[in-house]
Structure 1
Amino acid sequence: MAWVVIISVLIMTVLSLLRVNVIVAITIAALSAGLMSGLSLIDSVDLFVAGMGGQSSTALSYILLGAFAVAISYTGITTLLVHSLVKILTGKKAMLVLAIAGIASLSQNLVPVHIAFIPILIPPLLKIFDEMKLDRRAVASALTFGLKAPYIMISAGFGLLFHETILEGMKNNGMSITVNEIALSLLIPGSGMIVGLLIAVFITYRKDKAISNTDHEVVNMKEGSVTPKFNVKHLLTIVAIIAALVVQIITENLILGALTGLILMFIFVVVPFKKGDTVISEGVAMMGTIAFVMLVASGFGHIIKETGAVNELVGMSMNILGTNKPLIAFTLLLIGLVITMGIGSSFGTVPILAALYVPICIAAGFSPLATAALIGTAGALGDAGSPASDSTLGPTSGLNADGKHHHIWDTCVPTFLHFNIPLFLFGWVAALIL
Structure 2
Amino acid sequence: MNAVVAAVGLMLILSLCRIHVVVALIIGAVAGGLVSGLSLEATIAAFNNGLGGGATVALSYATLGAFAVAIGKSGLAHALADKALAMVGRQDDGNTGGGAIKFLMIGLLLAIAISSQNILPIHIAFIPLVVPPLLYVMAKLRLDRRLVACVLTFGLITPYMFLPVGFGGIYLNEILLAKVETNGVAVDGLNVMSAMALPALGMLIGLLVAVFFSYQGGRDYDLAAIERTERVDIKYSKWTLIMALAAIVVAFVVQLTLDSMILGALAGFVLFNVSGVVKWKEADDLFTEGMKMLAMIGFIMIAASGFAEVMRETGEINTLVESSVGAIGDNQALAALLMLVVGLLITMGIGSSFSTIPIIAAIYVPLALQLGFSPLAIVALVGTAGALGDAGSPASDSTLGPTAGLNADGQHNHIWDTVVPTFLHYNLPLLVFGWIAAMTL
What is the TM-score when the length of structure 1 is the normalising length? Answer: 0.71
Q: Using the alignment, how far apart are the partners of 1:266 and 1:411 within structure 2?
A: 35
3-state SS of the aligned residue for 2:18? coil
Which residue among 95, 99, 104 is the counterpart of 1:99?
A: 104
Task: Report the residue type matching 2:364 in the other structure.
Answer: C
Q: Using the alignment, how far apart are the partners of 1:350 and 1:240 within structure 2?
A: 32
2:22 — aligned with what? 23
Q: Using the alignment, how far apart are the partners of 1:249 and 1:215 within structure 2?
A: 38
Q: Using the alignment, how far apart are the partners of 1:302 and 1:166 within structure 2?
A: 24
2:253 — aligned with what? 246
Q: Using the alignment, how far apart are the partners of 2:103 and 2:2 within structure 1?
A: 46
- Aligned 1:349-388 pairs, distance under 5 A: 350=353, 353=356, 357-365=360-368, 367=378, 370-381=381-392
Deviations 1:170-218 (A, max 9, x none): 89x99979xxx99998776555444444444445666xx6989x99768
1:152 — aligned with what? 157
1:114 — aligned with what? 127
- Aligned 1:210-289 pairs, distance under 5 A: 231-289=238-296
| Change in 2 beyond 3 A, CA 1:73/1:412 | same
Residue pair 1:80, 1:228 contacting (<8 A) in 2 also: no
Q: CA shift at 1:117, angstroms?
A: 4.5
| Change in 2 beyond 3 A, CA 1:217/1:266 | closer
**CA RMSD across the alignment:** 4.7
Q: Using the alignment, how far apart are the partners of 1:362 and 1:336 within structure 2?
A: 13
Q: Using the alignment, how far apart are the partners of 2:55 and 2:192 within structure 1?
A: 21
Q: CA shift at 1:165, angstroms?
A: 9.4
Q: CA shift at 1:53, angstroms?
A: 2.5
Q: Using the alignment, how far apart are the partners of 2:296 and 2:172 within structure 1?
A: 20
Q: CA shift at 1:23, angstroms?
A: 1.7
2:323 — aligned with what? 316
Q: Using the alignment, how far apart are the partners of 1:308 and 1:412 within structure 2?
A: 28
| Change in 2 beyond 3 A, CA 1:334/1:140 | same
Residue pair 2:54, 2:301 contacting (<8 A) in 1 also: yes
| Number of residue pairs aligned between Structure 1 and Structure 2 | 400
Deviations 1:408-427 (A, max 9, x none): 99888766654454444445
Residue pair 1:370, 1:432 contacting (<8 A) in 2 also: no
Q: Using the alignment, how far apart are the partners of 2:345 and 2:331 within structure 1?
A: 22
- Aligned 1:31-430 pairs, distance under 5 A: 31-88=30-87, 90=91, 91-105=96-110, 106=112, 109=116, 112-115=125-128, 117-124=130-137, 126-127=139-140, 129=141, 136-137=143-144, 140-141=146-147, 143-154=148-159, 189=199, 192-202=202-212, 231-322=238-329, 326-331=333-338, 333-334=340-341, 348=351, 350=353, 353=356, 357-365=360-368, 367=378, 370-381=381-392, 391=402, 395=406, 418-428=425-435
Residue pair 1:233, 1:270 contacting (<8 A) in 2 also: yes
Deviations 1:32-78 (A, max 9, x none): 33333333322222222112233333233222222222221221111
Q: CA shift at 1:296, angstroms?
A: 2.3
| Change in 2 beyond 3 A, CA 1:320/1:268 | farther
Q: CA shift at 1:79, angstroms?
A: 1.1
Q: Using the alignment, how far apart are the partners of 2:62 and 2:173 within structure 1?
A: 20
Q: CA shift at 1:368, angstroms?
A: 6.0
3-state SS of the aligned residue for 1:122? helix
Residue pair 2:3, 2:316 contacting (<8 A) in 1 also: yes
Q: Using the alignment, how far apart are the partners of 2:358 and 2:407 within structure 1?
A: 33
Residue pair 1:189, 1:426 contacting (<8 A) in 2 also: yes
Residue pair 2:69, 2:286 contacting (<8 A) in 1 also: yes
Q: CA shift at 1:318, angstroms?
A: 1.1
Listed as ranges, the gaps of 5+ residues in structure 1 are: 131-135
Residue pair 2:381, 2:435 contacting (<8 A) in 1 also: no
Q: Using the alignment, how far apart are the partners of 2:218 and 2:302 within structure 1?
A: 45
Residue pair 1:185, 1:373 contacting (<8 A) in 2 also: no
1:10 — aligned with what? 9
3-state SS of the aligned residue for 1:379? coil
Deviations 1:247-271 (A, max 9, x none): 3334444334333333333333332
Q: CA shift at 1:234, angstroms?
A: 1.0
Task: Pick which of 63-72 and 73-82 moved more.
Answer: 63-72
Q: Using the alignment, how far apart are the partners of 2:100 and 2:339 within structure 1?
A: 37
Q: Using the alignment, how far apart are the partners of 1:323 and 1:304 within structure 2?
A: 29
Listed as ranges, the gaps of 5+ residues in structure 2 are: 184-190, 369-376
Q: CA shift at 1:151, angstroms?
A: 1.9
Q: CA shift at 1:231, angstroms?
A: 0.8
Residue pair 1:34, 1:307 contacting (<8 A) in 2 also: yes
Q: CA shift at 1:350, angstroms?
A: 4.8
Q: CA shift at 1:22, angstroms?
A: 1.8
